[in-house]
């Protein structure tokens, strides 16, 4: 098991900012998947020397009994005992900590890893030599690119630490997926010092959530999920966990922001300034009612330590994942089968929409939406009776809907609402078989015309073959763009293929000019065009003001 800071360049000249999974390494470090939606990223592995599993400590002032804690009432959450005083700024957080701490656990994982036999001793993590190797991208002794790479290997036991919390008296425990990923053995330590082996119930790498199970003779103390949507920026929160393997620790702060997205499709993070460090991964973020409103997952830091920017996955996301993992051992998310983008103000104006709310459909591959009649250019305004705010909102609503359920979807088409009934598929199955992927290429063509600051050429069979596009592909290929044009400002570039304008197909420059004329006659300030770039569709509203 391991930990790696995920370095994300944010325009700093002297240093990079690290988005770090809050997992404390005891021996080895392992790279996390690079994010898809951050502009530039570099995953930099670091390693520490083998050592014994670290000893941990318990709540200050509490004696370590070594006994597994027992719930006074198998049906009552620990947090319910502090809810009566919620809403009042406490003089101390000690009462909340005392009530919920029996349900917070330390997690130790063990994995068998292979290392080169003839390697130099590794540098301690955080030492000048370790930092030198990392900062300059030089392979460490025995690592990739070293003289010993590919030589004889020896197996060693690797330990890593994280946090978690009990959510049922039967012993279900929630943590982060990256805490236990690749582990051969998982051990749970309670604040009393008692230890129990844990088995894996299920994981969801998409939200970085895992569910474990321990077997205890008596009902275990547990905590309950609160409603993360009810949390407000400025609310007090309490983070509990096992930072840097030091044992049970509590920190406080406030909700700094909500609905943060970092790397994932279903991200809904609560940002907090409560100190979160490596080893806090998987630990709970409590409100003053003693309810879990987040699972501590990552920090933003130039050093890997807390600077007051921590992220906890919202409980309203986590609770649904936990329920599915408990019931099925896997997630089963709804799938609509569309590609979407947000509605910008200029797109809303070009379509005559009253606001930018909703999610615009850019492509409809084979699937539930296509079967129901959804079309590219539709703006999804409502899903299952709820208004859609934007693409993130739609993605979460669809994912939370039961697979196989028929739902009403309202779209805006030609300025009018159209309601369709769609039977949802399953996201995991669609991802597995690659449904809806249509590879396309890009290219250029010599014969051209100037329109809206773009040099355009009609698609021909020869050009389609050169661009590796399906036979019969039509549209206008962008050959060149005036750097001062609105098209350039909106991000169009050479090689883009314009396939629609004004929500109608275009096969020639005359078609495009006709759509522009129609938009002007309708009093529009822009015309909506659909482009394809490397197989991905995107709507752009281009200014047609003369």
Q: Tell me the pLDDT tens digit for each residue of 352-384.
A: 898 999 999 988 888 999 999 999 999 999 999
**Residues 6+ positions from 370 with CB-CB distance below 8 Å:** 337, 364
DSSP bridge pairs for 200: 212
Give me the pLDDT at residue 504, please: 85
Mean pLDDT of the region 457-473: 76
- Which pLDDT band, with edges at 50, 70 and 90, does 203 fall under? very high
CA 541 to CA 529: how far, in whole Å?
A: 6
Give me the pLDDT at residue 103, please: 95
Give me the pLDDT at residue 361, please: 93
- Record: fold of 334-433: Pdz3 Domain (2.30.42)
CA 285 to CA 296: how far, in whole Å?
A: 6
CA 9 to CA 211: how far, in whole Å?
A: 33
Give Cα 372 to chain centroid, integer Å: 29
pTM reported for the whole predicted model = 0.64
Give me the pLDDT at residue 192, please: 87
194 neighbors 200 (Cβ within 8 angstroms): no
Structure tokens at 143: 């690592």
Give me the pLDDT at residue 127, please: 55
- Record: fold of 449-543: Pdz3 Domain (2.30.42)
Quickly tell me which residue has 């029996």 as its tokens: 102
SS3 per residue for 466-523? HCCCCCCCCCEEEEEECCCCHHHHCCCCCCCEEEEECCEECCCHHHHHHHHHHHHHCC
Give me the pLDDT at residue 28, please: 33
Residue 59 has pLDDT above 70, yes or no: no
Give me the pLDDT at residue 43, please: 30
Q: Tell me the pLDDT tens digit for each residue of 173-183.
A: 999 999 998 88
506 neighbors 475 (Cβ within 8 angstroms): yes
Q: How many CB atoms lie within 10 A of CB 304?
A: 18
CA 303 to CA 285: how far, in whole Å?
A: 23
- Which pLDDT band, with edges at 50, 70 and 90, does 234 fall under? very high
CA 309 to CA 297: how far, in whole Å?
A: 11
If phi > 0 it is left, if psi is from -120 to 50 it is alpha, else beta; for residue 9 that is beta
Q: Tell me the pLDDT tens digit for each residue of 86-115.
A: 556 678 899 999 999 999 999 999 988 766
CA 282 to CA 294: how far, in whole Å?
A: 9
CATH of region 68-107+161-331: 2.40.10.120
CA 452 to CA 482: how far, in whole Å?
A: 9
- What mean pLDDT, rounded, does the chain reach? 78
Residue 169 has pLDDT above 60, yes or no: yes
Residue 34: closest CA among 8, 16, 13, 11:
8
- The residues annotated as belonging to the active site are 178, 208, 281
Instruction: Pick 478 or 463 by higher pLDDT.
Output: 478
Structure tokens at 295: 């699972």
Domain range annotation of the chain:
68-107+161-331, 334-433, 449-543
**DSSP-derived secondary structure for 281-326:** TT-EEE-TTS-EEEEEEEEEESSSS-SS-EEEEEHHHHHHHHHHHH
Give me the pLDDT at residue 98, please: 92
Residue 57 has pLDDT above 70, yes or no: no
The CA-to-CA distance between both ends of the chain, in Å, stands at: 61
461 neighbors 471 (Cβ within 8 angstroms): yes
Let me know if the fold of 68-107+161-331 is the same as that of 334-433.
no
Q: Outline where 137-241 has alpha helix (H).
A: 177-180
Residue 226: closest CA among 293, 319, 321:
293
Instruction: Pick 177 or 49 by higher pLDDT.
Output: 177
- Which pLDDT band, with edges at 50, 70 and 90, does 350 fall under? confident
CA 464 to CA 138: how far, in whole Å?
A: 44
Residue 445 has pLDDT above 90, yes or no: no
Structure tokens at 465: 């073959």
CA distances from 101 to 79, 211, 314, 332 (A): 10, 19, 20, 32
Q: What percent of the chain has pLDDT over 90?
A: 37
DSSP 3-state of 382: strand
Q: How many CB atoms lie within 10 A of CB 285?
A: 33
Give me the pLDDT at residue 474, please: 83
Q: Tell me the pLDDT tens digit for each residue of 126-148.
A: 555 555 555 555 555 555 555 54
Q: Tell me the pLDDT tens digit for each residue of 282-340.
A: 999 999 999 999 999 988 877 778 889 999 999 999 999 999 999 999 999 999 999 89
Residue 451 has pLDDT above 90, yes or no: no
CA 284 to CA 104: how far, in whole Å?
A: 8
């Amino acid at each position: 098991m391991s930990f790696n800071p995920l370095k994300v360049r944010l325009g700093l000249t002297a240093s990079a900012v690290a988005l770090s999974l809050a997992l404390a390494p005891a021996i080895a470090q392992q790279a996390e998947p690079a994010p898809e939606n951050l502009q530039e990223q570099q995953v930099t592995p670091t390693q520490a020397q083998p050592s014994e599993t670290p000893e941990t400590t318990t709540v200050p002032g509490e004696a370590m009994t070594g006994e597994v804690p027992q719930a006074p009432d198998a049906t009552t959450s620990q947090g319910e005992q502090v809810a009566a005083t919620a809403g009042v700024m406490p003089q101390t957080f000690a009462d909340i900590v005392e009530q919920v701490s029996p349900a917070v656990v330390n997690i130790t994982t063990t994995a068998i890893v292979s290392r080169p036999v003839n390697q130099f001793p590794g540098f301690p993590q955080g030492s000048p030599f370790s930092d030198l190797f990392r900062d300059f991208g030089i392979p460490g002794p025995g690592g990739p690119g070293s003289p010993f790479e590919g030589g004889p290997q020896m197996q060693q036991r690797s330990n890593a630490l994280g946090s978690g919390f009990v959510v049922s008296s039967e012993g279900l425990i929630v943590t982060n997926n990256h805490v236990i990923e690749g582990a051969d053995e998982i051990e749970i330590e309670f604040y009393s010092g008692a230890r129990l082996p844990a088995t894996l119930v299920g994981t969801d790498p998409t939200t970085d959530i895992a569910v474990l199970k321990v077997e205890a003779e008596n009902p275990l103390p547990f905590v309950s999920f609160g409603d993360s949507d009810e949390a407000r920026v400025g609310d007090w929160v309490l983070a509990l966990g096992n930072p840097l393997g030091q044992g049970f620790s509590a920190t406080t702060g406030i909700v700094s922001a909500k609905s943060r997205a970092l790397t994932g499709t279903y991200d809904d993070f609560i940002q907090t300034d409560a100190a979160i460090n490596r080893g806090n991964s998987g630990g709970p973020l409590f409100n003053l009612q003693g309810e879990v409103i987040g699972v501590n997952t990552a920090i933003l830091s130039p050093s890997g330590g807390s600077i007051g920017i921590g992220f906890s996955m919202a409980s309203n996301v986590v609770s649904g994942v936990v329920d599915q993992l408990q019931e099925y051992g896997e997630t089963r998310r709804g799938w609509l089968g569309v590609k979407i983008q947000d509605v910008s103000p200029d797109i809303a104006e070009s379509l005559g929409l009253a606001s930018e709310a909703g999610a615009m459909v850019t492509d409809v591959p084979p699937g539930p939406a296509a079967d129901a009649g959804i079309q590219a250019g539709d703006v999804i305004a409502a899903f299952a009776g709820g208004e859609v705010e934007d693409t993130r909102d739609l993605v979460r609503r669809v994912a939370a809907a039961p697979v196989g359920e028929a739902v009403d979807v309202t779209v805006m088409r030609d300025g009018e609402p159209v309601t369709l009934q769609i039977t949802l598929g399953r996201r995991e199955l669609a991802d597995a078989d690659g449904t809806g992927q249509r590879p396309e290429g890009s290219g250029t063509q010599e014969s051209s015309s100037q329109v809206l600051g773009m040099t355009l050429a009609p698609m021909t069979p020869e050009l389609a073959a050169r661009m590796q596009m399906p036979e019969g592909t039509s549209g206008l290929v962008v050959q060149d763009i005036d750097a001062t044009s609105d098209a350039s400002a909106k991000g169009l570039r050479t090689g883009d293929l314009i396939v629609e304008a004004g929500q109608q197909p275009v096969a020639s420059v005359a078609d495009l000019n006709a759509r522009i004329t129609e938009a002007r006659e309708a009093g529009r300030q822009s015309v909506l065009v659909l482009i394809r770039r490397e197989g991905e569709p995107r709507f752009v509203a281009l200014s047609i003001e003369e």
